C-alpha cells in the first residue's frame, strides 16, 4: 500500500498485487473507502486460478466486471451498517476521534448524498452523473463535435447542468481524472456498468449467503471471498462478462437491481 494523488491498483501476477490510496487530512473516509475500493480490484487479481498464471487469461475479464468488485467492496460492504458495527470501535481506537459520534450518525455521514466536484469522492447516488458527463464529452471528442481546447468549458457547463455546481479550477474539474491523459478512452462507462453488475451480484450473493450481514458484523469474510472467487475471480478471462453475470445471477445484466438497491438503502437513511 502506498500513497498517490489518484488511487489505483495494479496486478503484476496473482502473487504480487499492489494498491495505492490518498490521504486527506480533514476527511479520513476518503482514504478508508479508496483503499477498500482498490482492495476490491486486488482481491479479484489475487484470486484468479493459479492454472492461468503466465497466460493472457490471468486478469479480470473486463473493466466493468473489475469495477463491480471495487464498487461492491467499497460501497455495498464497506459503507454498510453491519460492516461498521464491527469496525467502528476499531476506527475510534486507532484515530482517537469520533468518541462523541454515535454509530448511526457515522453510518449516515459516510453515506451522505450531495453534489461534488470530484468523482472518486462522490456518493453512490450522484456517482453515475459524473460518469454520464464524461461519457457524453468523450463521445463528442471522439466524434469530432468537441475540440480538446473547448473541453474545460464544456465540462463546467455539464457540471452546472447535471449537478448544479461549477468547478472553481481545472484540478477540481477537467483535469481530475487520469484516464484521458493516459489514453484510456472508453473506460469511464465501466464504472456505471460496474455499479449495475455489483448490485445484481450482491443480490445473488445475499440469496446464496443468508448469513451475510451476521458475517460482516463478526468480521468474517471467508464466505464472501469464497463465493466471489468461485463465481467470478478464479475464472480470470475464461468467461466473458455476459457469461459471468449469467452464471452468477442467473440472468442478463439488469439495471433494475441497482435502482432497487439505491432506493432501499437511501430511503432508510433519509
Is 264 an active-site residue? no
Report helix, strand and coil shares of the chain as percent, to nearest 5.
60, 5, 35
Inter-CA distances, 217 with 78, 80, 83, 129, 268, Å: 11, 10, 6, 32, 19
Could you tell me the three cell numbers for 25?
Answer: 487530512
Backbone angles phi, psi at 21, to 5 degrees: -145, 175
Give the residue carrying C-alpha cell 471471498: 225
Q: Give CB contacts under 8 A, 24+ apart, made by 104-109.
A: 107/81, 107/269, 108/269, 109/29
Q: CA–CA separation, 258 vs 247, rounded Å? A: 18
| Residue 195 burial (10 A CB sphere; 0-12, 13-18, 19+) | buried
Q: CA–CA separation, 261 vs 96, rounded Å? A: 33
State the catalytic residue, choosing from 38, 45, 67, 124.
38
CA dihedral sign, ordered 190, 192, 196, 202: positive
Report the catalytic residues: 38
Amino acid at each position: 500500500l502506498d500513497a498517490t494523488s489518484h488511487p489505483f491498483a495494479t496486478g503484476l501476477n496473482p502473487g504480487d498485487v499492489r494498491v495505492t490510496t490518498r490521504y486527506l487530512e480533514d476527511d479520513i473516509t476518503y482514504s478508508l473507502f479508496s483503499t477498500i475500493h482498490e482492495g476490491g480490484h486486488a482481491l479479484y487479481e489475487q484470486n484468479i486460478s493459479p492454472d492461468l498464471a503466465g497466460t493472457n487469461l490471468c486478469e479480470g475479464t473486463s473493466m466493468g466486471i473489475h469495477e463491480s468488485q471495487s464498487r461492491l467492496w467499497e460501497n455495498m460492504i464497506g459503507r454498510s451498517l453491519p460492516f461498521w458495527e464491527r469496525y467502528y470501535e476499531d476506527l475510534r481506537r486507532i484515530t482517537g476521534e469520533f468518541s462523541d459520534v454515535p454509530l448511526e450518525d457515522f453510518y449516515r455521514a459516510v453515506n451522505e448524498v450531495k453534489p461534488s466536484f470530484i468523482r472518486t469522492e462522490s456518493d453512490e447516488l450522484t456517482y453515475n452523473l459524473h460518469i454520464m458527463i464524461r461519457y457524453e464529452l468523450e463521445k463528442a471528442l471522439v466524434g469530432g463535435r468537441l475540440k480538446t481546447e473547448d473541453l474545460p468549458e464544456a465540462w463546467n457547463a455539464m457540471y452546472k447542468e447535471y449537478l448544479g455546481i461549477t468547478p472553481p479550477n481545472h484540478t477540481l474539474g477537467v483535469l481530475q481524472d487520469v484516464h484521458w491523459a493516459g489514453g484510456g478512452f472508453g473506460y469511464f462507462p465501466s464504472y456505471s456498468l460496474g455499479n449495475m453488475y455489483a448490485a445484481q451480484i450482491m443480490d445473488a450473493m445475499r440469496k446464496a449467503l443468508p448469513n451475510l450481514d451476521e458475517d460482516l458484523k463478526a468480521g468474517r469474510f471467508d464466505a464472501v471471498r469464497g463465493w466471489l472467487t468461485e463465481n467470478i475471480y478464479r475464472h480470470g478471462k475464461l468467461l466473458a462478462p455476459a457469461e459471468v453475470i449469467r452464471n452468477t445471477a442467473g440472468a442478463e445484466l439488469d439495471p433494475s437491481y441497482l435502482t432497487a438497491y439505491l432506493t432501499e438503502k437511501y430511503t432508510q437513511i433519509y
